[in-house]
């Protein structure tokens, strides 16, 4: 990858976390301000970046259109959407997610927001921690052994809470259990007040192509109560898998 392209992509990732000044962008890239300004002006001209009246840089409107098109290309999202909405309603208005594995990351493709006042941090298009979320565990558990080993070798087992899995050995045990029981859980491992269960969506050959999860704040349901939602979750993922298999018939 060319250095200029790499730096431009780094700018977009940086702005995805919040607005930045020219000085901040230059510092992040470890380049002179003139180099950062040239890159920002190029991105601004094509509407990938916009500059406000205070000379702060933000993501631009061009990315909205690209994001919409990217989501539209994920056909599984369209197939799953009605089932996600139904699952959210059937579980009492809980948050429901759809995620897929892409280039070493679990990416949220769709989300049905909880109807409760307590909300969890997650956004469509952003990655889910592979070692600390139910969807991450479901997606990694189904990878071929060689690819799974490579993923584990690259995971930074940084703790999000006191319950986050701390090392690859513990993670391997969880992945084996996930394959055996057919679902995974996040027991307050990513956010210390959220419990979550996740299950796979499979294609005609039985390969996992996505994962669905139900996430519930512990003030709404305790961990065992969230686990009790697994049958409804599995019914939803089986229905999505069936619709996916029958989409061309």
What domain range includes position 208?
74-246
User: For 37-91, what is each residue's pLDDT tens digit?
Assistant: 999 999 998 889 999 999 999 998 888 767 765 665 578 888 999 999 999 999 9
125 plus 225 within the same structural domain: yes
Strand partners, 106: 101, 128
55 plus 158 within the same structural domain: no
Look up the CATH number of the domain holding residue 173.
Answer: 3.30.450.40
Alpha-carbon span 15 to 122, nearest angstrom: 17
Nearest Cα to Cα of residue 199 among 84, 74, 114: 84
56 plus 92 within the same structural domain: no
- pLDDT of 1 higher than 60: no
> Stretch 135-146: mean pLDDT, rounded?
92
Nearest Cα to Cα of residue 7 among 28, 23, 21: 28
52 plus 88 within the same structural domain: no
Last residue of a domain, one of 66, 95, 120: 66
User: For 110-121, what is each residue's pLDDT tens digit?
Assistant: 899 887 666 666
Helix, strand or coil for residue 136?
Answer: helix
- pLDDT of 31 higher than 70: yes
CB burial of residue 181 (10 Å; 0-12, 13-18, 19+): exposed
127 confidence band (pLDDT: 50, 70, 90): confident
Distances (CA, A) of 245 to 130, 201, 204: 26, 11, 5
Last residue of a domain, one of 66, 83, 111: 66
- pLDDT of 214 higher than 90: yes
Distances (CA, A) of 30 to 33, 156, 179, 216: 9, 24, 44, 41
55 plus 98 within the same structural domain: no
Distances (CA, A) of 47 to 7, 23, 57, 118: 17, 20, 11, 35
Q: Is the dihedral of CA 217, 219, 224, 228 positive or negative?
A: negative
Last residue of a domain, one of 17, 33, 66: 66
- pLDDT of 231 higher than 80: yes
16 confidence band (pLDDT: 50, 70, 90): confident
User: For 158-170, what is each residue's pLDDT tens digit?
Assistant: 899 999 999 999 9
143 plus 88 within the same structural domain: yes
């Amino acid at each position: 990858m060319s250095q200029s392209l790499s730096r431009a992509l780094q700018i977009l990732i940086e702005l995805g976390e919040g607005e930045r000044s020219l000085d901040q962008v230059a510092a992040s890239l470890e380049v002179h301000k003139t180099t950062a300004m040239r890159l920002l002006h190029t991105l601004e001209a094509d509407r990938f970046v916009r500059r406000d009246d205070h000379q702060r840089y933000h993501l631009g409107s061009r990315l909205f259109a690209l994001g919409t098109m990217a989501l539209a290309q994920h056909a599984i999202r369209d197939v799953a959407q009605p089932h996600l909405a139904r699952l959210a309603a059937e579980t009492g208005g809980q948050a429901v997610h759809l995620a897929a594995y892409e280039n070493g990351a679990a990416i949220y493709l769709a989300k049905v927001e909880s109807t409760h006042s307590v909300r969890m941090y997650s956004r469509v298009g952003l990655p889910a921690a592979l070692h600390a979320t139910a969807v991450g565990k479901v997606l990694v558990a189904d990878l071929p052994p060689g690819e799974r080993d490579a993923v584990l070798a690259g995971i930074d087992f940084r703790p999000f809470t006191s319950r986050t899995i701390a090392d690859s050995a513990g993670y391997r045990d969880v992945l084996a259990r996930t394959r055996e029981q057919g679902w995974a859980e996040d027991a307050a491992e990513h956010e210390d007040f959220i419990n979550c269960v996740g299950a796979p969506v499979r294609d005609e050959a039985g390969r996992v192509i996505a994962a669905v999860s139900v996430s519930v704040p512990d003030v709404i349901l305790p961990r065992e109560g969230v686990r009790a939602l697994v049958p409804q979750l599995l019914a939803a993922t089986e229905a999505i898998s069936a619709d996916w298999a029958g989409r061309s018939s």
